[in-house]
Every structure is written in structure tokens, then in C-alpha cells.
Amino acid sequence: MSFASLGLNESLIKALEDSGYTQATPIQEQAIPMILEGHDLLASAQTGTGKTAAFMLPALEKLSTPSAISARGPRVLVLTPTRELALQVTAAAQKYGSHLRRVKVVSVLGGMPYPVQNKMLSQPYEVLVATPGRLIDHIERGRIDFSRLELLILDEADRMLDMGFFDDVERIAMATPATRQTVMFSATFEGNIARLATQLLKSPKRIEVAHQQARHENITQHMHYVDDLSHKNRVLTHLVNDTDINQAIIFTATKRDADSLADDLQAAGHKVAALHGDMHQGARNRTITQMRHGSIRLLVATDVAARGLDVPGITHVINYDLPKNPEDYVHRIGRTGRAGASGIAVSLASPRDSMQLKRIERFTGQLIPAQVIDGLEPKLKPRTGSAPSGGRPSNGAGRGGRPAGGGGGYGEQRRSSGYGNNNQRSDGDRGQNGFANRDGGAPSRDSGFAGRDNGYANRDNGFANRGNDRGADRAAAPAVNGNSWGNSTSAPAAPRRDSAPRPAGNSGARRDGQGATGGYRGGNSGGNGGGNTGNGGGNRGNGNRSWS
């Protein structure tokens, strides 16, 4: 269906033609007429289907008619969960309204100077795009007049609620006129979204063009099983050296990992940058601009980039760490294959990620096939229940490449198994062909004795067993606070059930606090790390490469 048949004026049609758009997408075909008719709307559409234009085009069409109220404040308010999405919506509004007279678009978001925003808000404008937190600040200071607001749009409302903005959204809505029209786009209509919709929308129409579980037919998805961190990095090396990659996003679980992995990739000769929430907004904007201009080939990011980042050149998405929520997986891989283009999504997973993979496959309704790279075959089989190939895992790598101990053979130091070609100097500095030892040559926390299941720190079967043998263990090692290593002067410890060799107490400091000084992040000076399930080497709270 052509845009002209949807009732849009010639100025908008011309702007669309200038942008290369001639035919409306399914969500646009349904949403634009409903919004123009004045209905409140609750809509769900898969990312990359043109939903921004679905609400922005009718909003701009409404602005072609002068307001009956004379005021400085906005006639259209768009709320977004992230700064990146706010900037994308702002750019779309400016692009589509380029041929309209007297349509000014203002964005108000965190990380930007208040004086600049105060100056913009002091002048007449028609469209305000904002993130909830910063908008609340300006409302409290009395800088925004909502007296002539006609349309409130909540983009990716589910994400806003996930980020804890429920009360802020309610408060903002209460500051707007009750006569306003409200449009809400969300991935789901359940839970808090249904509750919010009941409070804000009046007899809304519903559109569900492509459910969140809809398949990404134009995105080829596959995965690689990895044994440990060293294996994981070697697989990543192979992937990023693929000449078929035009641009790629590599998703990590933590901000720290994003920075360190970006540094390592840059040392290996790649054009790379990091993107995460701790970066100043100016730096984030520059990174995204460089990505769009093609100056950056690899972007290492946290989920802050999973929504709102639209770069046509992205051909690959690599999940270095799997997301916690299946919904985030869909949004991550949606960064490629946009607007009908094809894309490739690759996930790296240890056998311990099998339940997470199962949840993702159940949510998306499709299996993610496993592939093997010649020369980089995994030693460990995935657990039963993982769709690609099934099987029970050995006692091996944990999530993010943390291997189990008990003689599992993963006691290599990171400097000898680092990312790249392992041509590093012994002091941990970067070699010429690989890249840096992230721990500066210290023994990797992936060492075999730090395993979560069968290693020396085993919560169930280790020497500090919490069950029937607890008394015997304490009797055998009364002087070491429940641990029998890290104290060279202590009495001999009780034997281990798994017969694995006990590490020496002066084995050297580890990045996670193991070694001569004891448990995770310090512990007790006598080596409080072995059987302590809260602070021990196994750290039951997080199996990722790093902690944040």
C-alpha cells in the first residue's frame, strides 16, 4: 500500500520519497489510519518493521493543522526507554518533517548538559522526545508546559517498565491533559503493560502485526558450544576474521567485559569500539556516528545497544554472552536483517547455558542449530534439553567459559591461552599476533580447581562439605576457618572426596581473589575461599568471565 493512500499530506510523502520509502509496511498500514482517526492504540510489532514511522508519520500529520491553544510546550510527546532510541526517534521525526513548516523537534535525555536543554525548552517547539528520568527533572523545575499536548506516545513501553520507569511514566501521564490521545508500542500486552494500558488508554484499538515470538526469517541463526574462556576467545577470533562481516555487534553481559574485549580486539588490529551505559552521552553519540559512517567494524556492547540502534551496515550479531532474558535475545539479533535485508546471528554458549538456550528457543519458537568450526571442536557435549544436539555434559565449562575442576584439565593460565594466536610475552603484555592477557599473566580464574561443580570449592562434595561430614572436616582442620589451604602453617586438611589435587596456598594472586590471599575479592587473609559458598572461588552468584 502506498503512503498516499493512507491520508498523509504531500510534504510527508515527499520526505518519504527522499528517504527512499514508497510502500508502507504492515504495521504502518494499520497504525497510521487508526492514529489519524484519534483512537488510543496498543500495538505490537517486531523490531525493524518500521514502527517508528508508524507513529511519527500520523503525529506529524496532526501538526499540519494549527493548534487551538497558544503555548510554547509540545503538541506531541514521545517517551523512550533509552537515549539511543530517543536519538533515533528524534532523527526520524526531523527526517519525515523536513518539508513541513514550523515543526521543531526537541530531545531531552540524560547525559546531556542542562543549560543546552533549558535553552531549547524555552523556545517554541512541537515535538518532544524524552527519556523518563530527565523529563521528570524538567517537569519538577517547571520548564515544560503540557497545556497544548495532543498526543502521548510510549515507544517500547515494556522496556521502560523493565527498567523501573513505571512510576515515572504514570507521573508524566498525570502531568498531561486528560484529553490527550495515547499510543503505546510494546513487545507484550501482559503483566504491568496491561495494568499501565488500563490506566492510560481509553478504549484502545489493538494491533499485533508480528508477535515478539515471530521468527526472524531473514536472519540466519546458529550457535557454537565452547568449553572454556580460552576456547571461547579462539572461536571469536575465527568469527571476527570472517571477511563476510561488513559490520558486527558483539554483545557482552557486563560493561567491564565490553571495555576489556574491545581493548583486546583493538590490539589484535580490528576497528572496534565499546558501547555501554557508563559512557558519557557524547562518547556514545560519537561511537554510534562512527558506526554509521563505517569507521567502526566491530561494536562491543551491552544490552543498552539492543534497542534503538539502527545501522544498515550491520550484517552480523555475535552473542559473546547470552542475554538473561529471551526477549533481549530477540532485540539483540534484530540489530541485523533490518528492513528486509539478510543477517547472521551467532551465539557462543557453554554446556551450562543449555537451560538458557532452551528458554530462548521456547520463546522464539524455533531451534538454534549448533555448528562446529574445524580445529575448534568443543570437547564437551551439551546437556540434554538443548535443542541442537542434546546429550549430557561432562563436568566442564560453566557459563562464560568457567570450567569445572576435579582434574578437568582446564588449569591453563590466561597468558598461555589468551585471545588470538597466543603469541604473548610472559609478562602479560600484548604480543604481535594475539592480544592481551587480560589478567597480566596471573593464573586464570578458569583454573580447574575453581570449578563450581566438582572443583575443590564444590559446595556439595568438597572437603568443607556442609552435610554429614562437616564435623569431621572441622575437626581435621580446626585452625583455618573451615578452609585448609592458603595457610602454610595450618594443620593438614581433611582429604577431598573427589581426590583432586589441592592447590598450594602461595600459588599467587588471582583476578578473582583466589591464591595466597584467599577467597573472592579478598576473603579472609587465611584463605577464606575454599568452602565458603558466598565468597569462594566458585562464586555461585555469577558464572561470567568478570564480575560487576
**Average pLDDT, stretch 519-539?**
41
More confident call, 304 vs 134: 134
pLDDT bracket for residue 158 (50, 70, 90): confident
Least confident of 139-153, 205-219, 468-482: 468-482
DSSP 417-446: S-SSS----TTS---SSS---TTTTPPPTT
Work out the average pLDDT over 55-69. Answer: 90
- pLDDT above 90 for 80: yes
Q: Tell me the mean pLDDT in the region 130-139.
A: 94
> Amino acid identity, residue 307?
R
pLDDT-based confidence at residue 410 (cuts at 50, 70, 90)? very low
Is the pLDDT confidence value at 384 over 50? no
- Residue indicated by cell numbers 593438614: 492
Q: Which three cell numbers stand for residue 456?
A: 575443590
pLDDT of res. 431: 38
**Global confidence as pTM:** 0.55
- Please report which confidence band the pLDDT of residue 372 belongs to, taking 50, 70 and 90 as the band edges: very high
Per-residue pLDDT at 421? 40
Instruction: Evaluate whether 181 touches 198 at the Cβ level (below 8 Å).
Output: no
CB 346 within 8 A of CB 336: no
Lowest mean pLDDT among 112-121, 201-210, 514-523: 514-523
Confidence tier at 512 by pLDDT (50, 70, 90):
very low
Topology, domain 219-401: Rossmann fold (3.40.50)
Q: What's the pLDDT at 70?
A: 82
- 475, pLDDT greater than 60: no
Nearest CA to 81 out of 336, 284, 324, 304 is that of 304
Residue 96 belongs to what H/E stretch? helix 83-96
Tell me what percent of the chain is helix, strand and coil, each rounded to the nearest 5.
30, 10, 55
Query: Looking at the predicted structure, is the pLDDT value of residue 49 above 80?
Result: no
| Range of lowest pLDDT (177-186, 353-362, 430-439) | 430-439
Beta strands, E only, 14-99: 41-44, 76-79
Mean pLDDT of 65-69: 84
For the chain, the domains span 4-208, 219-401, 403-548
Per-residue b/e over 433-468, b at no fewer than 16 CB within 10 Å? ebbbbbbebbbbbbbbbbbbbbbbbbbeebbbbeee
pLDDT computed for residue 35 by the predictor:
96
The three-state (H, E, C) secondary structure of 216-261, written as one string? CCCEEEEEEECCCHHHHHHHHHHHHCCCCCCEEEEECCCHHHHHHH
Q: Which tens digit of pLDDT belongs to each residue from 309-325?
A: 788 889 999 999 999 88
Mean pLDDT within 283-299:
91
Helix (H, G, I), strand (E, B) or coil at 157: helix
Greater pLDDT, 475 or 295: 295
Q: Which one, of 332, 310, 347, 270, lies nearest residue 50 by Cα?
A: 310
Residue 191 CB contacts under 8 Å (≥ 6 apart), including other chains: none
Q: Which amino acid, 21?
A: Y
pLDDT the model gives residue 325? 83
Please answer whether residues 129 and 89 qualify as being in contact, where contact means their C-beta atoms are separated by less than 8 angstroms. Answer: yes
219-401 and 4-208 share a CATH fold: yes
Task: Report the pLDDT value the prediction gives residue 250, as an integer from 0 to 100.
Answer: 96
What is the residue-averaged pLDDT of the chain?
A: 74
CA distances in angstroms from 529 to 242, 439, 446, listed in the order given: 42, 19, 15
- pLDDT given at position 47: 66
8-state DSSP, 368: -
Confidence of residue 159 (pLDDT cuts 50, 70, 90): confident
Q: Which residue has the cell 527526517?
A: 95
The CATH class, in words, for 4-208 is alpha beta
Please report, for residues 260, 261, 414, the alpha-carbon distance to residue 301 in angstroms, rounded to integers and kept in the order given.
11, 10, 23
